[in-house]
Amino acid sequence: MGKLSVKYLGLDLRSPLIVSSSRLTSNLAHLKEAEEFGAGAVVLKSLFEEQIDHYIHTIPDSTGYPEADDYISNYMRSNTVDEYLDLIRSAKESLSIPVIPSINCYSSGGWTGFAKNIAEAGADALEINVFFLPVDRKKSAAESEKIYLELIEKLKKTIRIPVVVKIGFRFSNILNIIDQFYVRGVSGVVMFNRFYEPDIDLNKIDIVPAKIFSTESEMRYVLRWIGMASAQDIKIYISASTGVHSGSDAIKYILAGAHSVQVCSVLYEKGLKYLVNMNREIEEWMDQKGFTSVNDFRGRLNYRNYSKPVIYERTQFMKYFATED
């Protein structure tokens, strides 16, 4: 393994850069490109809970929303569960880097038993992206979080491969929920997922999807929580996600404590070959600073190791706005 090699979920990665779940990881040709251009691992395009439910004949006849029903029906016709399992098998036969399937889910329902099929297909780990929005004002935060914990408990009883949970930043106590994952046997967390958000078209006076690709400016809230989470006294792997558009962005996340960095939006713009540039940029920076391995600098600036940890807290905000002109 080279100087960029890292451990993630107990797996050996030749680079901290992971191509995250997207259309770029939906077929074997793209996966081979990702490996060729230096990816440390790949997360396959997500399989949806609705697809699995349909596969095991438990999906309701209708969601009550015709457009959603049509979407799910069309999606499942062109993206079958069997094809997904075949992709896992083919990827494992063809690639030397870890292959991590992804499930996009919203409940802790009966679909979790299907995780065994994924493990048996040869997956190195399983990433769970819980797309759950707490819209019931009568339900407490603890009740909402229970969905995550029940899901994890069911999965850990079903499979032995590492489980990593991709979470959002809207928990009332992010550090506590990560600790709850850890004590239930979760190997890692991805911080953070990006829910599709709404926007308003003023000309049409209608709700439209907001921009789905990330920007570098979105790193600011991710950096803080990775810096805090990586400083906790628990051994859980952290993968950074959102706002990674260069090798420099990846370095920042690793300095904050991330074990790996997931890349997506910039690869849509510049192609999978851009991974070569990102890896080169990381290596050149390491050479300049005298680091011979990623572990030499990982977490150097997290909440525990940084000499001024108060910068992660509200005090810095107060200091900035209290300064006189």
The full set of domain ranges for the chain reads 6-322
* DSSP-derived pairing of the beta strands 126-130 and 198-201: unpaired
Q: Bridge-partner residues for 165, per DSSP?
A: 128, 189
Residue 323 has pLDDT above 50, yes or no: yes
Please state the rounded mean pLDDT for residues 48-53: 83
Confirm if 223 and 253 have CB atoms less than 8 A apart: yes
Residue-averaged pLDDT of the chain? 88
Please state the rounded mean pLDDT for residues 221-243: 94
Residue 48 has pLDDT above 60, yes or no: yes
Residue 54 pLDDT: 72
CA distance 28 to 325: 58
Residue 215 pLDDT: 72
Please state the rounded mean pLDDT for residues 126-155: 88
Q: Is 296 helix (H, G, I), strand (E, B) or coil?
A: helix
* DSSP-derived pairing of the beta strands 260-263 and 237-241: parallel
Please state the rounded mean pLDDT for residues 132-159: 89
Residue 315 pLDDT: 53
CA atoms within 13 A on the CB side of 86: 7
Tell me phi and psi for residue 238, to 5 degrees.
-125, 130
107 versus 187: the higher-pLDDT residue is 187
Confirm if 189 and 218 have CB atoms less than 8 A apart: no
Confirm if 44 and 21 have CB atoms less than 8 A apart: yes
65 versus 145: the higher-pLDDT residue is 145
Confidence of residue 78 (pLDDT cuts 50, 70, 90): very low
Residue 74 has pLDDT above 70, yes or no: no
Residue 77 pLDDT: 44
Residue 220 pLDDT: 82
CA distance 48 to 50: 5
Residue 63 has pLDDT above 70, yes or no: no
Could you tell me which residues come within 8 angstroms of residue 3 by beta carbon, excluding any fewer than 6 positions away? 283, 286, 292, 293, 294
CA distance 284 to 131: 37
Residue 295 pLDDT: 97
Please state the rounded mean pLDDT for residues 37-66: 76
Q: Which CATH superfamily is domain 6-322 in?
A: Aldolase class I (3.20.20.70)
Cα separations (Å) of 230 from 52, 110, 237, 259, 300? 33, 33, 8, 9, 10
